[in-house]
Amino acid sequence: MSVLDLARPEIRTLQPYSSARMEAAGGQIMLNANESAWEPMGDAGAGCNRYPDPQPEALLQPMASLYGVEREQLFVGRGSDEAIDLLVRAFCRAGQDAIIIQPPTFGMYAVSARIQNAAVIEVPLASDFSLDVQALLAAVTPAVKLVFICTPNNPSGRSIPRADIVQIAQALTGKALLVVDEAYVEFSDEGSVADLIGRYDNLAVLRTLSKAWALAGARIGSLLANAEVIALIRRIMPPYPLPSPCIAAAVAELSPSGQATARENIAIVREQRETMRAALCRLSGVREVLPSDANFLAVRFDDAGTIYQRLLQAAIVVRDIRRYPQLQDALRITIGTPEENARVLTVLNETGT
Ligand SMILES: Cc1ncc(COP(=O)(O)O)c(C=O)c1O
């Protein structure tokens, strides 16, 4: 059985759109895409009058080497949000199929599924935010096509051990695609499971340049998976998913000096995360600071609503996560610069927390 047997039959047989840039590129006179022959104002050689390569080699090559996969095992799109959406559309038949998520977790898995009219089966995380592997496997029905696991999890911050992921990937073989969202993995000691893609054809990994790589505004995210899955996703991607200025920004960030700077900043975030955690734990109105492997802390307060407002009055915006199950008293605070973090602590101290 091929993992593609899990995908929607009509997507497998779909005749994909063939863009002009896919059919021919690199000529001296380009008259095949109805583009303007003139560069726009302020272009400075960026070539924005031309459609970009849908999956540019200049970006695929450094990203494949960063993630330790082959280029055929990599799809790059507009943030991992786009990869989530394309996976749901490729694998879930409207009104028939389902995904599994573990609340409290990142919201877009369920939103993408609902847009597609796929059912969302919830297997809540345990009270310590660990994953109940047996409960998850027990929830798998023939309708389940995708199982999303977020590690480190947003918004709790806790990682799912590699051994759990291996067990789930094995158990789901031939049944469902396991999608491991590693948006925050660069901040964790756990490491990626991307090296397991060659072993499990039903394992897919989401990565992003939005967090550790400082490119949230460029919208560059990736799907790493079996080459057949990637080829399927490329069949349904938009004709030109990646804007030229965003490709250039990502290529610069992944240069040796860009990577060196990013790694320095990751080290600062990891160090600041522990400094902030210790300082927050000492504040009297703080009930608990959840251990985090990511670039944020979920913090339980005696009165989270008032704290949220006080921070806002001081022009500090954090995320109110009280709507999430098990987190009805919590705010999620991203780790900023050391100065920004110190300011948060000052305001909380002034508030008499
Ligand atoms: C767990 C998780 N996955 C994916 C995303 C989306 O990332 P991107 O910017 O790559 O679309 C986020 C954004 O916050 C996230 O927290």
Per DSSP, the residues of 47-70 read -TTSPPPSS-HHHHHHHHHHHT--
Atom of ligand 1 nearest to the CA of 81: 11
CB 6 within 8 A of CB 203: no
For residue 204, the CA-to-ligand 1 centroid distance in Å is 15
Atom number, ligand 1, closest to the C-alpha of residue 216: 9
How remote is the CA of residue 116 from the centroid of ligand 1, in Å? 19
pLDDT band of residue 26 (cuts 50, 70, 90) is: confident
- Round to whole Å and give the CA distance between 307 and 304: 5
Of all atoms in ligand 1, which is nearest to the CA of residue 78?
11
Q: Which atom of ligand 1 is nearest to the CA of 83?
A: 11
Pair 276, 297: CB distance under 8 Å: yes
Ligand 1 centroid–CA 81 distance in Å is 6
Average pLDDT over residues 178-196: 97
Query: Can you name the CATH fold of 3-19+54-254?
Result: Aspartate Aminotransferase; domain 2 (3.40.640)
- Percent of the chain at pLDDT > 70 equals 99
Domains in the chain: boundaries: 3-19+54-254, 258-350
Confidence of residue 1 (pLDDT cuts 50, 70, 90): confident
Where residue 25 falls among pLDDT bands split at 50, 70, 90?
Answer: confident
Q: Whose CA is nearest to atom 2 of ligand 1?
A: 183
Token pair 């999608």: residue: 179
Ligand 1, atom 12: closest residue by C-alpha: 183
If one residue of 111, 125, 149, 154 were mutated to test the ligand 1 pocket, choosing by the most ligand atoms within 8 A of its CB, it would be: 154
Q: Taking CA 23 as the corner, what is the angle to CA 17 and CA 24, rounded to the nearest 5 degrees?
A: 150
Check: CATH 3.90.330.10 for 258-350? no
CA torsion, ordered 41, 47, 50, 56, to nearest 10 deg: -150
The predicted pLDDT at position 44 comes to 86
Among the listed residues 265, 292, 37, 313, the one whose alpha carbon sits nearest the alpha carbon of residue 157:
292
Model confidence at 352: pLDDT above 80: no
Token code pair at residue 120: 């969302």
Quote the CA–CA distance of 169 and 163 in Å, as a whole number. Answer: 10
pTM above 0.95, yes or no: yes
Q: What are the contacts of 130-133 at 24+ separation with CB within 8 A?
A: 130/158, 130/160, 131/102, 131/160, 131/164, 133/164, 133/167, 133/168
What three-state secondary structure class fits 277? Answer: helix
pLDDT single digits (tens) 91-125? 999 999 999 999 999 999 999 999 999 999 999 99
The rounded Cα 30 to chain-centroid distance in angstroms is 36
Q: Please check the confidence at residue 241 and state whether its pLDDT lies above 90.
A: yes
Per the rule left: phi > 0, alpha: psi between -120 and 50, beta: everything else, 219 is left
pLDDT at 205: 98
pLDDT bin (cut points 50, 70, 90) of residue 261 is very high
Amino acid at 317: V
Q: What is the mean pLDDT of the chain?
A: 96
Q: Taking 90 as the threshold, does the pLDDT of residue 353 lie above it?
A: no
Pocket of ligand 1 (CB under 6 A): 79-81, 106, 150, 154, 181, 183, 208, 210, 216, 221
**Which among 210, 332, 334 is the best mutation to test ligand 1's pocket, defined by most ligand atoms within 8 Å of the CB?**
210
Q: What percent of the chain has pLDDT over 90?
A: 94
18 CA from centroid of ligand 1 (Å): 29
221 forms bridges with which residues in the sheet? 77, 208
> What does the pLDDT look like over 264-274, one tens digit per residue?
999 999 999 99
The 10s digit of each residue's pLDDT in 262-305 is 999 999 999 999 999 999 999 999 999 999 999 999 999 999 99
The helix/strand/coil state of 2 is: coil
Element (H, E) at 90: helix 79-91
Ligand 1 centroid – CA 218 distance (Å): 13
Ligand 1, atom 3: nearest CA belongs to which residue? 183
Question: Residue whose CA is closest, atom 8 of ligand 1?
Answer: 79
